[in-house]
Chains A and B, each alone.
Chain A
């Protein structure tokens, strides 16, 4: 409990409320590399410097055009460092990216601008080194992002609408005992009206079981009958009018979700069945070690269920009843996490690692989020570009609608082709626009042919992309700058879920789409 906050805590207060102190720590230990200080690139970095990334390096050999005032990378570094004194930055002047081992030391690499043979090579180097790689481009009114990371695990995905873990269909012993302490039929009105709805549902479920062969209410009709059963339990006054018992209304309202069968969500099941979870070695990241431990729990002490999450929503109740009920869930969660810890310890021992390799905190956090774990695996650039493995189905089905954002992807690929052939972009100068339309069309056709894509790319898009003349309008660069920075933060903090793997933004229509290519 800090009495007064440090100035860093004050500065970062608004974002600490989103990713916590541990997220901030991860950010401050990160070193990001930006290749090419374009408008997009500097916007991305700005949005990483402001929240306090540890350090950055800019690689760019281009000069600031028009004036002999120095190198672009240097100017950008100075500009960005000035934004946040906590961040250190440096630059490297290299016009053509030197694909060598230096890039392996980065936490994250961002590449902007188009030099296709370069980024493909860089992509494979970083893929092997396990360095997450993000390609961002602003081309006219189109924004493009491609995330390349072999495997990214997320414990804290922070889902927007998570279902509660109440175990009403399979109450654990301690919960059963606690519910037994209540006798709804012989309570003072005050207590009756301030009994947590979880208890109310549990009690009436017992009643229901005794009349329905211990079967849960299954369909709409039965659930409705169950709701009526609860409603009939509302106290009435001398005249027979029902009293105002908000807790019973809450119980009735929550019947639907409260009776959801407890089970391991499919996402988590998939993680348990993954090869990395099955085969734990001394090199296994702690995510997989703990996952294996939780899996062991599920198959043994958990009786097919995950460790209890330990949280309950707020509800109408007096303080004492609520806190006691909350503690029943909290204590069970702690117990379950301790059992998982034992499994993890045994696992670590079996591969010759000390038990301290994973902390209690890590295990507790994992157990709490066991229902929300996510693993993101992006395909490599090689897979995306190879004629044998490219995602033909996705491209073809999207192009059934000729204005799908997929056409923008095909246009960018065609632009790359144009650059390869002509060593320039189409339509940069006014006089080029018209002739370049035909040249670009040939590139489009050769692309479609090479990949045997039987899709229709409307001439309008070819014209439009020539019109762009490789412009990088600031507002589009800024949109991408914000988007990309947050994806980088997700990767660095391992919180929230990154996109997979191609994002396209159309500033004309203000629409976007994500494809897995």
Chain B
């Protein structure tokens, strides 16, 4: 009995501390002052508030009872975001994450403990917050963002992302753009769901505010994202110079050949036995070429494309994002307009600027996209253009069109049987495929929830093939 009391006392102590930390220097009384720090910004006039701001006691009620926030990602940024939002008064929060907890998460994803390893991040994160912050109701979804449709996303006032993939960012960006409604060509502001996006990598990070249809979207600034590091195949295959080259050789070329763990067993970077095998083989390869520097840590880093991460950077970026969620939800201040860059390698450096919309952005400009090729160009060239062009950067586009009144798939990579059937089309010319000048091609890809329509313009034979500017 005494034990139970002690535990309960301890639990209440922790809960009260979590609450009262935020009420420092404020008032007497417990829950009376609970949201004091928030109230000051909602109930008082001020010289720097948003022009639309009106002090009122209802704002707090909106925050506590009505405002619905979606947090995408329950990892390094997600954990921090959930805590920040819960302690700022937001109570209706949903969180989506398709991952389970790994021990390497524990140095920063603080809602998880070693006993939670293997469990879904969304579930554990929600449990933790709901237990520690009385009144807060986080609803977890152990799912991919693509598992939900427009009706799910439409219910939220604000969406905030802590994702680790550009593809996922582009997808949610596309989803929110698809929710926009226009009346007589004028955007209906009530259909806009603000998207706040945070990203971190080592000691660098950024936070941005996107008002779909109004401000620069993810695709408008695609060139801001640094290209992924890849090594040329000839280097990997025959001319390694760095330990990384040796590891890539084993990962890409030797594993499929040796099939060390069975015929259909793919390399799993999370399986220590797999990584150990790659490590040993990489050492052998490196020895052949007198290359030093292959370590287990490097091997795992290359195989899993590991990005270094610390608690501090995630704390900073998630804090900046949560501040913006608060500003937008309450109109207390003018939101960030619209991009913040942070780097604390040398001192602390921040840079704030307004990313501009791209006039012909494939995602948000509503300008019809053009594809310019001579009729003798092969479909393969069109495919390469879609994946390599800096403004498009599609991953595995599926191209289809309407021919003789019927829908025809020209090429689709992601389903083996269709890939096999349509593969011969890649070597055929556009003319051979029966495509005409002005033909509409529908392109689907993981980077967007909506099909992108392209208009095919035939150029004369003498034009260079890769000349396509929109």
Contact = CB atoms under 8 A, between A and B. Distances in A.
Interface of A: 1-5, 7, 10-18, 37-39, 42-43, 46-47, 50-52, 64-67, 69-70, 72, 74-76, 78-79, 83-85, 113, 140-141, 157-160, 194, 314-315, 317-320, 322-323, 326, 425, 428, 430, 433, 459-461, 463-464, 467-479, 481-483, 485-487, 489, 496-500, 503, 505, 507-512, 514
Contacts of A78: 10, 13-14
Contact of A485 (B37, B242, B297, B311): B311
A153 B228 CA distance: 35
Nearest to A461: B47
16 contacts: A4-B276, A11-B104, A51-B310, A65-B30, A66-B29, A75-B13, A140-B40, A159-B346, A467-B40, A471-B41, A477-B22, A482-B312, A482-B313, A486-B310, A499-B348, A510-B350
A474 B22 contact: yes
B69 interface: no
B47 A463 contact: yes
B18 interface: yes
The 7 A-B residue pairs with the shortest CB-CB distance, nearest first, are: A66-B30, A482-B315, A482-B316, A478-B319, A479-B319, A460-B47, A39-B21
A449 B276 CA distance: 69
A21 to B, nearest CB: 10
Contacts of A472: 21-22, 24-25, 37
B43 interface: yes
Contacts of A463: 46-47
A396 B9 CA distance: 53
Given A75-B16, A473-B38, A478-B80, A314 B348 contact: no
Among the interface residues A140, A482, A508, which one has the most CB atoms of the partner chain B within 10 A?
A: A482
Contacts of B106: 11, 50, 84
B240 interface: yes
B391 interface: no
Contact of A479 (B114, B308, B320, B345): B320
B153 interface: no
Contact of A52 (B22, B107, B308): B107
B296 A5 contact: yes
B272 interface: yes
Nearest to A474: B87
Chain B: interface size category: 35 or more
A496 B346 contact: yes
Interface string B43-86: 11111100000000000000000000000000000001001100
Interface stretch (B287-295, B399-407, B422-430): B287-295
A158 B333 CA distance: 37
Contacts of A322: 241
B146 to A, nearest CB: 26
Contacts of A158: 345
B142 interface: no
Interface in B312-331: 312-320, 322-324, 326
Contact of A18 (B22, B23, B308, B323): B308
B144 to A, nearest CB: 23
B315 A51 contact: no
Contact of B296 (A2, A469, A514): A2
A467 B40 CA distance: 7
A65 B28 contact: yes
A483 B340 CA distance: 15
Contact of B14 (A79, A140, A474, A499): A79
A510 B337 CA distance: 9
Nearest to A50: B311
Given A42-B17, A470-B26, 14 more contacts: A78-B10, A78-B13, A113-B24, A319-B241, A425-B25, A469-B44, A471-B26, A474-B21, A479-B319, A486-B312, A503-B347, A508-B48, A509-B352, A510-B320
B454 to A, nearest CB: 32
Contact of A475 (B276, B309, B323): B323
Interface string B271-300: 010001000000100000111000111001
B140 to A, nearest CB: 21
B33 interface: yes
A76 B14 CA distance: 8
A37 B18 CA distance: 11
Interface string B108-133: 10100010000000000000000000
A158 B26 CA distance: 43
Given A474-B87, A478-B84, A483-B348, A69 B16 contact: yes
A70 B13 contact: yes
A314 B364 CA distance: 39
B336 interface: yes
Contacts of B322: 474-475, 478
